[in-house]
Amino acid sequence: MAITAKIGDVFTLQKEVDKYRPIFYAGASGDFNPIHIDAEFGKMVGLGGAILQGLCTMAFVMQTVSEWSHDPYKVKKLKVRFAKPVLPEDTITITGRVASIDNNTAHCELIAKKQTGDEVINNAFAEVDLG
């Protein structure tokens, strides 16, 4: 199914990070780094608690793009920069914008912010096949 897209199109998704999300994600991904599952350890190393795995936030960004594209494998490339940690009970809003289109590929710019307005992922880009 082809996607209709034009430059400037915007799409968003909101994700709630519940208290146990880093633990679920640890089990599913195998990333059991103590900074993700041990709040005391997280505090000790100055993170303010156990933080969500960055790659889980990246999965939220991927979901945002793949829901827009209606087909996950139309997303050909995704690049993100982890700007700030996400903590349990944060609400993350991901916004994508079609920056340019060439050769039937949409180049999207993405950003993820938490409820405070702080950017948790920035300098993020996706390439989506519009064919």
Alpha carbon separation from 52 to 39, 72, 104, 110 (Å, rounded)? 11, 23, 35, 19
Dihedral Cα 5, 69, 120, 21, nearest 10 deg: 160
Closest of 31, 28, 29, 47 to residue 39, by C-alpha? 47
Q: Using CB under 8 A, pick the residue from 5, 25, 112, 113 that binds another protein.
A: 25
The smaller minimum CB distance to another protein, of residues 6 and 129, is found at 129
Of the candidate spans 4-12, 79-87, 101-109, 110-118, the one that interacts with another protein by CB under 8 A turns out to be 79-87
Of the candidate spans 3-11, 24-32, 93-101, 111-119, the one that interacts with another protein by CB under 8 A turns out to be 24-32
Contact 7, 100 (CB under 8 A): yes
Q: Using CB under 8 A, pick the residue from 39, 50, 56, 120 that binds another protein.
A: 56
Q: Is 80 in the site for another protein (CB under 8 A)?
A: yes
Hey, how many other C-beta atoms are within 10 angstroms of the C-beta on 107? 16
Binding site residues, another protein, CB under 8 A: 1, 15, 21, 24-25, 27-31, 45, 54-56, 58-60, 62-63, 66, 71-73, 75-82, 123
